[in-house]
Amino acid sequence: MIGEDATARWWSIGELARASGVTVRTLRHYDEIGVLRSGERATSGHRRYTAADLRRLYRVRSLRALGMSLDEIKEVLASSPEDPAAMRALLRTQLRQLTFQAEQTQQLIEQIHGLLRQLDEASMPDPDQFMTTLEMISMLETYFTQEQREELARRRGELGAEAVEEAKTHFVELVEQLLRHVQDGTPADDPQVQELVRRWDELATPFHAEDARGEQTKAAARRMWQEHRDQLSARLPWPAEKMAELLAYLERARTTAH
Amino acid sequence: MIGEDATARWWSIGELARASGVTVRTLRHYDEIGVLRSGERATSGHRRYTAADLRRLYRVRSLRALGMSLDEIKEVLASSPEDPAAMRALLRTQLRQLTFQAEQTQQLIEQIHGLLRQLDEASMPDPDQFMTTLEMISMLETYFTQEQREELARRRGELGAEAVEEAKTHFVELVEQLLRHVQDGTPADDPQVQELVRRWDELATPFHAEDARGEQTKAAARRMWQEHRDQLSARLPWPAEKMAELLAYLERARTTAH
DNA sequence: GCTTGAACCTCTCGTCGCGTGAGGTCCTAG
DNA sequence: CTAGGACCTCACGCGACGAGAGGTTCAAGC
């Protein structure tokens, strides 16, 4: 027999689980963290759930199904019994997060489509080149955030094509000089190298607003990379490994600057 | 000084971290699980990373950025140096997952939009009614999977409107009789109740293909709920709490059937 | 050679929402 | 009275690290 009579004025944890489609473990977890406390216990220590608990459980599950955390749910269900303002705020927050997530996912989908195209193209006999593409993705992501990419794309438009072309030319010159120094083993704190680094960092300055938040050299490197993103994507004239070494060399040159 | 000379034939863990934009902790984690082993150690025990390690790290980060697990990455990078087939397979799998995820997210977004509309409508002075909607969402999700919802929507079209209307009428009658029993405290194993439950379970049978995979009563209950989904969404003539009790009562009636 | 502070090492616990036992108690039908 | 099913409380596990404790090593200045 169940409850006090056949109509059940209360539910045991197993009954509630079956009736609501969650597991017993889940209910115990909710009890533990306070999302759904079982009102009272039987003398034996067994949990007893009331009709009010059942309704609360349904609410919890609905909000979870909408992707909210148990902490958020606990809070909104704790706020003055049924506060529409708090609920609205939570829903809006969740909507923003989901929208953002949807955009991110969409970008990933497109990126993977691109990679699959590249893999399927007959013009790609060299698997190493595909790996190089993979490495480039990470390099670019390391040096720019999403917003930076977008803002820089705008600024680029404002400045006009000539300035960009000029910067590109300088960039290629710089990289080749620096690569020579790397190959020759020039110490990173060599004045000539330092000068090259300074020019590297300055090169893209007009392409970016001044944020003056320290870290300027790092930011400058990001800008530099950004400006030549297309070139990079279209495969660099230098192998990825060389560029990687160059990046490390640059990093070192900046930190050893007197 | 760093490495063996200024050009660095190898990187320390901190240098690699700065050059690649990951944390030191992450590199140690990759070492631990074997995604990126540091080739050798200095006599002091400090890790030494080579240019090959750096390239591998870029690949790992790129694949992670595409949402793959470290286990998957480990495997695809372990497969014969650069196997395009394995990579293609992984990319396709990932693409499927992301596509699925994007669909789910989109549905959630629409649901939240619906809820916000309901909250904003002036015709909703009663916050409790909103909570009832929340409870209904969970009830429906408990009893139907996505595919079930879709298949049943199709079958419903095939059978025609009259059959559906007749089922609805029966459904309402059944619910009211059962609610009376609940209120009167009739034991769940009472023959009359059992008969009502049998009719409940049978009512929607023609609306669904026979899957004959045991659990038929549960499946039948799902069907029943589905057929009246619209009514439910448009608010039931009975309070949610009553329906919840009724569900538990039904569950009990089925398990106590001789 | 000594000191100092930064960088490195290992080990361990915390995150989030539960799943999955282990080992013991309680309830109910026969 | 006994069996077995339902309940109880720990406590570890997952994935990809973050954070900190507590100890060793490195590189530079004296």
A14-52 pLDDT tens trace: 988 887 889 999 999 999 999 999 878 888 889 999 888
Give the whole-angstrom CA distance, residue A235 versus residue A243: 12
Q: Helix (H, G, I), strand (E, B), or coil: what is residue B47?
A: strand
Encode burial over A162-193: b for 16+ CB neighbours within 10 A, e otherwise. eeeeebeebbeebbebbbebbeeebebeeeeb
The answer to whether A55 contacts B135, with C-beta atoms less than 8 Å apart, is: yes
Q: CA B238 → C1' C25, Å? A: 41
**CB distance A209 to A154 below 8 Å:** no
Give the whole-angstrom CA distance, residue B165 versus residue B143: 21
- Confidence bin at B224 (pLDDT 50/70/90): very low
- The residues pairing with B245 across neighbouring beta strands, listed in sequence order, are none
For the residues A72-88, what does the mean pLDDT come to?
83
Chain B residues within an 8 Å CB radius of A84: 119, 127, 130
Residue in A83, A128, A137 closest to B82 by CB: A128
Give the whole-angstrom CA distance, residue B58 versus residue B73: 12
Chain B residues within an 8 Å CB radius of A2: 252
The mean-pLDDT minimum among A57-66, B5-14, B96-105 falls in B5-14
Q: Residue B114: its pLDDT value, please?
A: 79
The answer to whether A112 contacts B99, with C-beta atoms less than 8 Å apart, is: no
Q: CA B52 → C1' C8, Å? A: 22
**Greater pLDDT, A79 or B205:** A79
Nearest C-alpha neighbor of B207 from the set B233, B177, B228, B193? B228
The answer to whether B137 contacts A65, with C-beta atoms less than 8 Å apart, is: yes
For the residues A196-221, what does the mean pLDDT come to?
48
Smallest CA–CA distance, residue B235 to chain A, in Å, is 16
Which of A108, A130, A183, A217 would best serve as a mutation to test chain B binding (most B beta carbons within 10 A)? A108
Give the whole-angstrom CA distance, residue B225 versus residue B22: 51
Q: CA A69 → C1' C15, Å? A: 13
Q: CA B2 → C1' D27, Å? A: 10
For residues B241, B246, B248, B251, the Cα torsion angle rounded to the nearest 10 degrees is -160
Chain B residues within an 8 Å CB radius of A185: 5-7
B69-92 pLDDT tens trace: 999 999 999 886 667 788 889 999
Which of A49, A135, A140, A145 would best serve as a mutation to test chain B binding (most B beta carbons within 10 A)? A135
ipTM > 0.85 (yes/no): no
**CB distance A124 to A130 below 8 Å:** yes
Chain A residues within an 8 Å CB radius of B108: 65-67, 98
Q: Residue A71: its pLDDT value, please?
A: 95
Q: Is pLDDT of B210 > 70?
A: no
Mean pLDDT of chain A: 69
CB A8 within 7 Å, strand C: no
The answer to whether A138 contacts B65, with C-beta atoms less than 8 Å apart, is: yes
Query: How many helices and strands (H and E) does chain B possess?
Result: 12, 2
Q: Residue B126: its pLDDT value, please?
A: 59
Give the whole-angstrom CA distance, residue B216 versus residue A84: 40
Domain ranges of chain A: 13-78, 80-125, 127-255
Q: Helix (H, G, I), strand (E, B), or coil: what is residue B69?
A: coil
Q: Which nucleotides of D are covered by protein (CB under 7 A)?
A: 6-9, 15-19, 24-28
Q: CA A12 → C1' C22, Å? A: 23
Give the whole-angstrom CA distance, residue A188 versus residue A251: 9
Q: Residue A166: its pLDDT value, please?
A: 57
- Confidence bin at A70 (pLDDT 50/70/90): very high
Overall fold of domain B13-78: Multidrug-efflux Transporter Regulator; Chain: A; Domain 2 (1.10.1660)
Give the whole-angstrom CA distance, residue A183 versus residue A162: 32
Helix crossing, A161-184 with A146-159: angle to 10°?
120
